[in-house]
Amino acid sequence: MNQASDFVTLYEAGHVGQAYTLASNMSISVIQDLVNESTVFLFDDNSAIFASGLDFREATLEERC
């Protein structure tokens, strides 16, 4: 498992606030797309999370750029 999947598992278990807080605190970079209202959290193990509204999942390669 990687950091992104750990935080997604936490989110899916109902710990939404904690998942967002940890993703924000543990990320090495945050990419915000204000037009599409989304955020991508990048981690030092090369994993990433895509967050937008109720969507909180591992990011695709295209979303990481």
Segment 8-64, tens digit of pLDDT: 999 999 999 999 999 999 999 999 999 999 999 999 999 999 999 999 999 999 998
CA separation for the pair 25, 36 (Å, rounded): 23
Residue 1, pLDDT > 90, answer no
pLDDT at 49: 98
Q: The whole model's pTM is what? A: 0.93
Contact (Cβ atoms closer than 8 angstroms) between residue 32 and residue 47: no
CA distance 56 to 60: 12
Number of domains in the chain: 1
Note down the domain range covering 50.
3-64
Do the Cβ atoms of 8 and 49 come closer than 8 Å?
yes
What's the pLDDT at 39?
97
Instruction: Supply the pLDDT for residue 31.
Output: 96
